Structure 1
Amino acid sequence: MLKQAALIALMAVSASAMAGPWQAKFGASLLSPTSDTSIAPGAVVKADHEFNFTPSVEYFFGDSPFSAELLLAAPFNQDVMLNGENVAKVKHLPPTLTAKYNFKNSTRFTPYIGVGATAFLAWDESGVADKVKNDVGFAGQLGFNYQPADAKNWGVFLDVRYADLSPEVRLVDGTKFDLDINPIVYTLGYSYRF
């Protein structure tokens, strides 16, 4: 009984210590590349679409409309296509940090816009790709959060992100080129304030 009371007290202290202007977001995303790369006449390389689980953490700065969000996606396992044929696969992480402005209003919809930076962190390649370098670039974000009337801390969100990414790829034959991915990422999910 004493152990249970101590555990409950510890959990209460932990919860109060964590209480604050935080929001956890649990989403599913479609990463849709918008660019392709011509490496030779008649040879076009393009990254394929990819679905993934994309959680994130957001911090709100007091009563101001500003917040910062860190995207923490599960690893993407993306195919690389040469003239429509799958020739390589690249695993990577896309951590993205955005500074956001939330348009507060009297409705349950809270639109937001954000700008920041993203990274392409590669760690495994297969097929004709011998080495893919890490890359960093600009990120933009646009979306909204909706909190239903009967929800205390829960909500749903929808957003669209753009990332300016062109990692350098070295093929097994020594050929090097910048793979222009520049994806748009569409995300739908749940949010929880605590």
Structure 2
Amino acid sequence: MLKQITLIALMGLSASAMAGPWQVKVGASSLAPTSDTEIAPGLVVEADQEYGFTPSVEYFFNDNISAELLLAAPFNHDISAQGLGKIAKIKHLPPTITAKYHFKNSTRFTPYVGLGGTAFIAWDEEGAAKDVKEEFGIAGQVGFNYQPADAKNWGVFVDVRYADLSPEVTLDDATAAAVGKSKFNLDIDPIVYTLGYSYKF
């Protein structure tokens, strides 16, 4: 319940911004799962690392405080089981909202930290994954924006995000009979590394 409340509150904070300085960011990201799941004795299941296009929109309330909404393209994960190889493929959307603090200073580097909420919204399932439920989690973010000397509005940024996500997966009947379990929580808990371009207006 706390995860859902945090996500809704932060989305409301973002929606309350009606006018002011906006920033559009276009990035390329690597999403690397940090956990695996033992669904039966000796049978470990894990999602693979994936790459994707991650645009976002950010609103600045002042020089230090902003809210950022990540609007990533769908990620595709191959799900593999130890000794069985690939058993399923899951496509999902990872919308994420974070409240951020920017450490303004005399240099052209502006570090920032963020905290917010994220969602795992299943887009499509293939193979042994019969159904994947939506999941909500807490998200953290650290990074920096760099503005070159001749740039008025644009810059480049690097950031790292962590998300607490373990969606529930329902297996098809044949796989469930083979492993002795019909449902399990797939511990993904990804770290997302992003490099991109920002433009403020």
Fold shared, TM-score > 0.5 on shorter chain = yes
Tell me the alpha carbon deviations over residues 150-172 of structure 1, each in whole angstroms, 9 at most, x when there is no partner: 11111000000000000000000
Q: Segments of 4+ in structure 1 off by > 2 A?
A: none
Deviation, 1:182, is: 0.2
Identity of aligned residues (%): 74
Deviation, 1:54, is: 0.2
Aligned to 1:13: none
1:182 equivalenced with 2:189 (yes/no): yes
Greater C-alpha radius of gyration: 1
Taking structure 2 as the reference length, what is the TM-score of the superposition?
Answer: 0.85
Tell me the alpha carbon deviations over residues 52-86 of structure 1, each in whole angstroms, 9 at most, x when there is no partner: 000000000034x1100000000111111111721
Counterpart CA distance in 1 for 2:118 and 2:190 is 11
Q: Secondary structure, in 3 states, of the residue corresponding to 2:106?
A: coil
Aligned to 2:75: 76
Counterpart CA distance in 1 for 2:140 and 2:37 is 22
Counterpart CA distance in 1 for 2:31 and 2:23 is 23
Deviation, 1:105, is: 0.3
Deviation, 1:41, is: 1.1
Q: Secondary structure, in 3 states, of the residue corresponding to 1:166?
A: coil
Aligned to 1:96: 96
Q: Which one is further off, 129-138 or 79-88?
A: 79-88
1:55 equivalenced with 2:66 (yes/no): no
Counterpart CA distance in 2 for 1:110 and 1:62 is 14
Counterpart CA distance in 1 for 2:44 and 2:62 is 49
Q: Secondary structure, in 3 states, of the residue corresponding to 1:106?
A: coil
Counterpart CA distance in 1 for 2:146 and 2:127 is 43
Deviation, 1:19, is: 7.7
- Partner amino acid, structure 2, of 1:50: E
Q: Secondary structure, in 3 states, of the residue corresponding to 1:20?
A: coil
What does 1:38-187 correspond to in 2, within 5 Å?
38-63=38-63, 65-83=64-82, 85-173=85-173, 174=176, 175-187=182-194
Taking structure 1 as the reference length, what is the TM-score of the superposition?
Answer: 0.88
Extract unaligned runs of 5+ from structure 2. 1-17, 177-181
Counterpart CA distance in 2 for 1:138 and 1:111 is 21
Counterpart CA distance in 2 for 1:108 and 1:47 is 38
Alignment check: 8 A CA contact 2:56 2:72 kept: yes
Aligned to 1:29: 29
Deviation, 1:49, is: 0.3
Q: Secondary structure, in 3 states, of the residue corresponding to 1:81?
A: strand
What value does the CA root-mean-square deviation take over the aligned residues?
Answer: 1.3
- Partner amino acid, structure 1, of 2:122: A
Q: Which one is further off, 75-84 or 86-95?
A: 75-84
- Partner amino acid, structure 2, of 1:82: A
